[in-house]
Structure 1
């Protein structure tokens, strides 16, 4: 059974009490500065030393502002997996030397050859990387506007080409606003479609880790009613993702 971790980089997940009760480990990084949106790469090793995580695991990262911590989680597996990224964005921008960002971490993994392949599901066709000629041969784009059965067909086609372990990273901005509220532009995927993707991947018996981000970044320590509603919607989706993973893993 995979362990459940919550990494607290800010106060975003504090309001998700049901989720926090399900976690075996809560890691408080609230005193760590210079990590939102981007951070200097040397800090990755510092954070690794503070994380006592067992694999396989399910890890909640908070807002998409911290999605670059997926790179750290993949490195902690000590394996070279296929990355299945369920995201409205490719996160394949270029970043300055010595810096990793929430929009560049996938490109860093590819450049460093720390993953076998990256399969991005739910991508916006207007994404910069989708529109340009892809420089990496081991990246597969499965855009959001394809029917679900076609998305699953292409996903399984790619997964059967390689027996490497699989790591899933979920950014809830891939979902429509009926199921999640984020601080980024969002896609059109339904929660049931997302859960079906998780089940299909789990059936390969090669899943070694999952992380989830895309929380609503509240500017308030004490949330008002509207802020609370957004948090509870995201928590319900987080719980359903967790329940599905525990059932099918």
Structure 2
């Protein structure tokens, strides 16, 4: 199936960021969808599903700030054959739900792990060790984690042997896993360099086919104008680099 590269535009943060590659994207304006910021109401989820359905899951998808990282669950809900989910994120996004019947940017990953019958493994890369210890799930056997501390010390390599080979992947990247030199987000951030992130991505991309990839972690549009222009410039440069690095794997 032909991949469609998408921009899901919730806050108009992308207006100037990736204009050099803009013609390669289908642009989906989501700014009018109520009940979608941080928490996603059932009505908002249905509307997002309706807007992305014509494009399918294949391709590279930019999904705005980390407030909308739950869109990964909406994409992966479209996958009905076995797959593994690789998530790069400085947070686990596996908190216990705070509002009944409302998916959020803080609990969507736990929902995928516990509810998606096609999911074979969930590989989570980048949160702090203390945050990983707080994960509560009935499917710990499917979860493989690599903490920020392990990555910094070069530990945990032996755990790679537990990852099933050949299972198709869906990859989700929250740029808050990167240091502020490479990304400025609206959440606290990790310490990865862009080169380290691409090196780890390459390890997985060369070992299994890819259903699709999404990228979030844009800055808030509510910050002061000078800081916003700086953040937009940093994020735009990283977005362009990630897109050009990933598309050869996602489009072959």
TM-score by length of 1: 0.89
| Aligned-partner SS, 1:78 | coil
For the 8 Å contact 1:142–1:154, the answer to whether it is kept is no
Q: What secondary structure sits across from 2:232 in the alignment?
A: helix
Farther off after superposition, 193-202 or 168-177: 193-202
Unmatched tracts of structure 1, length 5 or more: none
Question: Are 2:61 and 1:56 aligned?
Answer: no
Quote the Cα distance in structure 2 between the aligned partners of 1:174 and 1:111: 23
Q: Which aligned pairs between 1:44-193 and structure 2 lie closer than 5 A?
A: 44-51=45-52, 52-95=54-97, 96-114=99-117, 115-127=119-131, 129-131=132-134, 135-137=138-140, 138-147=142-151, 150=154, 153-154=157-158, 156-159=160-163, 161=164, 163-193=166-196
Contact 1:87 1:172 in 2 (8 A): yes
Q: Residues 196 and 99 (structure 1 numbering): CA distance in 2 closer, same or farther, change over 3 Å?
A: same
For residue 187 of structure 1, give the secondary structure of its aligned residue in structure 2.
coil
- What whole-Å deviation, never above 9, does each CA across 1:114-157 have from its counterpart, x for those lacking one? 42221111111231x42466643211110112247946835642
Deviation at 1:163, TM superposition (A): 3.7
8 Å CA contact 1:57, 1:208 repeated in 2 = yes
Q: Aligned pair in 2 of structure 1 residues 19, 62: CA closer, same or farther (>3 Å)?
A: farther
- Segment of structure 1 superposing worse, 143-152 or 195-204: 143-152
State the shift of 1:112 in Å. Answer: 1.1
Matched with 2:40 is 39
Shift of the alpha carbon at 1:211? 0.3
Deviation above 3 Å: which 4+ runs of structure 1? 77-80, 131-135, 147-156
Across the aligned residues of Structure 1 and Structure 2, the Cα RMSD in angstroms comes to 2.3
Match of 2:214 among 207, 211, 219: 211
SS at match of 1:14: coil
Kindly tell me: are residues 90 and 132 of structure 1, through their superposed partners in 2, closer, same or farther at Cα, counting changes over 3 Å?
A: closer
CA–CA separation in structure 2 for the residues paired with 1:185 and 1:61: 18
**Matched residue of 1:209: which SS?**
strand
Q: Distance in 2 between matches of 1:83 and 1:168?
A: 6
* Structure 1 Cα separation of the partners of residues 186 and 13 of structure 2: 12
Contact between 1:16 and 1:231, CA under 8 Å: does it hold in 2?
yes
Task: Deviation per CA, 1:181-225: give whole Å up to 9, x if none.
Answer: 0111100111001111121111113211110000001216xx723
Distance 2:95 2:177 in 1: 18
In structure 1, C-alpha distance between the alignment counterparts of 2:20 and 2:110, rounded to whole Å = 31
The question of whether the paired residues in 2 share the 8 Å contact of 1:121 and 1:151 is answered with no
Aligned 8 A contact 1:179 1:233 in 2: yes
Structure 2 unaligned residues grouped into runs of 5+: none
